[in-house]
Amino acid sequence: MLKQELNTKLQQKLSPVQYQTIKMLEYPTADLEDVITKELMENPALEEGQSEQDDNFSDFEKDTEQDEFAANNDELGDLDIMERDSFDKGFDYISKKNYENPAEILYSREQSFFEYLIEQLSMLNTDETTLKYAKYLAGNINEDGYLSRDLESIIDDLAFQAGITATEQEMQTALDLVQQLEPAGVGARNLQECMLLQLKRLPQRNSVKNAYKIISNYFEQFAKKSFSSIENKLNISESEFENAFLEISKLNPKPGSAFTNSREGVSEHIIPDFIVEEENGKLYISLNNSNVPELRVSSVYTQMLNDFSEKNSDEKMRQAFEFAKQKVDSAKWFIDSIKQRNATLLRTMSAIVKEQQSFFLTGEESQLKPMKLKDIADIVGYDISSISRVSNSKYVQTEFGIFPLKFFFSEAIKTDSGEQVSNRKIRDIIKQLIENEDKTKPITDDIITAELVKKGYVIARRTVAKYREQLNIPSTRQRAKR
């Protein structure tokens, strides 16, 4: 006997424009130009040129003034920025200063870690679904090479932002694919997994096998340096343990940074996405859209819709109407998504500039405030994932040089007076202390910690070790001159 059940399910789906806008946020200026060129070739209803309705917002924009892509700037305070003028002029405003064409100011940079991962994924033979999930995971891998979020949260993101339902098994399969990429250890969720992934890639000699057993089964004891206990439990000799220890010492705890350091010969060009200028103590922000063409819906296709009738009895005429309507709708969605992308980028950049105003006025790195993605997300009212997309692979041109947006984000360290300072300042102090040390008797992390405490910085020894590693400074033992 059949049993009927009635279930209710709440599911939020994004409109085509919102989904397209989310994708647009990921593109830096150079890539956006390529995307537009490709769309112009594929959609005959989209063409270059100024629309007669540019002075007015589209119906979509009016309907979404209150959503995540809204461009209400009142909450940003009285920071004197060019964003308001740029917004009113359709985001095509370029700074009033007599700059040479910013799109022609090219900067050399290395291939980004994310681009390197995507490049590898594109060469793998796998199904489209797994590849799609793997690319999404690659976007969540941090600069050190670790997957920064758990799979459950990433699955929730996909469901909420793109209406895509992925199972944990599907996502795990995609992660297994990512963890096969170079450099070894990429995609790990913690240090232990990172080391195990690297050990799996090595020839399985006895020293490697013992190293794998140590990290797999006795990781905590190894971290606490309980070496004798591990020898006894594994029933191996001291020399065998030393050989395994040597294998472990060769592993890279930050595979992402290893990629950056090893690809110094790889060079590309950077076209800045934003321009921040100072004039008479005031900061002006603009998007670098000089090479991005204005777009409009083809008047020919619009006229076709007016001439055709959806209810026309002639089958060919009805098909012509459906074709024209689909192309016109697609062109409108594409244009609206670019406008919303620009609104989101400008609003986010404005919040960053406001928070880091002292740096943009002086160029002094010591003036950078501690700032997280969540801080900007709270200011502008966007989701953290949107801020992450905006800051990823985007660059800003300033009067002090060109900087990736991620440069402006850092952790906070408290002083003994309760004040919060950027961890960049702590790293600078650590670097100076080590540069000035007696090379025959290098200082330990404990001594560095004590010196920082003397200066009023409340910090743990393990944090000092982490910052030292981020600076690519070897340990005390490795720095000692023999």
User: Under a CB-based contact definition with an 8 Å cutoff, are residues 194 and 185 in contact?
Assistant: yes
The per-residue pLDDT of the chain, averaged, comes to 77
Q: Give the pLDDT score at 73.
A: 40
Query: Taking 50 as the threshold, does the pLDDT of residue 432 lie above it?
Result: yes
If you ran DSSP here, which 8-state letter would residue 57 be given?
-
- Most confident range (mean pLDDT) of 140-154, 203-217, 251-265, 385-399 is 203-217
pLDDT, tens digit, 9 for 90 and up, residues 320-338: 788 888 888 888 989 988 8
- Judged by average pLDDT, the poorest of 103-117, 130-144, 187-201, 262-276 is 103-117
- Most confident range (mean pLDDT) of 148-162, 229-243, 279-293 is 229-243
Summarize the confidence of residues 279-296 as an average pLDDT: 85
- CA–CA gap between residue 381 and residue 389 (Å, rounded): 15
Q: Give the pLDDT score at 213.
A: 93
- Judged by average pLDDT, the poorest of 46-55, 166-175, 267-276, 284-293 is 46-55
CB atoms within 10 A of CB 303: 11
Query: Taking 60 as the threshold, does the pLDDT of residue 96 lie above it?
Result: no
Each domain of the chain, given as residue ranges in start order, spans 16-103+272-404, 113-181, 191-257, 412-479
* Residues 412-479, CATH architecture: Orthogonal Bundle (1.10)
Q: Give the pLDDT score at 172.
A: 93
Please state the length of the chain.
482
Summarize the confidence of residues 451-469 as an average pLDDT: 84
Summarize the confidence of residues 66-73 as an average pLDDT: 35
pLDDT, tens digit, 9 for 90 and up, residues 463-478: 888 888 877 788 888 8
Q: Give the pLDDT score at 187.
A: 93
Work out the percent of the chain whose per-residue pLDDT is above 90. 15
User: Under a CB-based contact definition with an 8 Å cutoff, are residues 207 and 243 in contact?
Assistant: yes
- CA–CA gap between residue 218 and residue 233 (Å, rounded): 9
pLDDT, tens digit, 9 for 90 and up, residues 71-81: 334 444 444 44
Sign of the CA dihedral with 70 first, then 159, 34, and 401 last: positive
Query: Taking 50 as the threshold, does the pLDDT of residue 257 lie above it?
Result: yes
- CA–CA gap between residue 232 and residue 227 (Å, rounded): 9
Q: Give the pLDDT score at 176.
A: 93
pLDDT band at 52 (very low <50, low <70, confident <90, very high): low
Rounded-to-10 torsion of CA 159, 164, 167, 170: -130
Threshold 0.75, pTM exceeds: no
- Judged by average pLDDT, the poorest of 2-11, 175-184, 205-214, 430-439 is 2-11
User: Under a CB-based contact definition with an 8 Å cutoff, are residues 475 and 436 in contact?
Assistant: no
- Judged by average pLDDT, the poorest of 119-128, 186-195, 266-275, 445-454 is 266-275
Query: Taking 50 as the threshold, does the pLDDT of residue 230 lie above it?
Result: yes
Name which residue leads in pLDDT, 399 or 352.
352
Query: Taking 60 as the threshold, does the pLDDT of residue 45 lie above it?
Result: yes
Query: Taking 70 as the threshold, does the pLDDT of residue 399 lie above it?
Result: yes
Query: Taking 80 as the threshold, does the pLDDT of residue 166 lie above it?
Result: yes
* Beta partners for residue 287, in sequence order: 274
DSSP, residue by residue, 425-478: HHHHHHHHHHHTS-TTSPPPHHHHHHHHHHTTB---HHHHHHHHHHTTPPPHHH
If you ran DSSP here, which 8-state letter would residue 369 be given?
P
Euclidean distance between the first and final Cα of the chain, in Å?
A: 84
Work out the percent of the chain whose per-residue pLDDT is above 70. 76
Q: Give the pLDDT score at 120.
A: 84
- Peptide bond before residue 474 is cis, with ω within 30 degrees of 0: no
Q: Give the pLDDT score at 171.
A: 92
Query: Taking 80 as the threshold, does the pLDDT of residue 445 lie above it?
Result: yes
If you ran DSSP here, which 8-state letter would residue 283 be given?
E
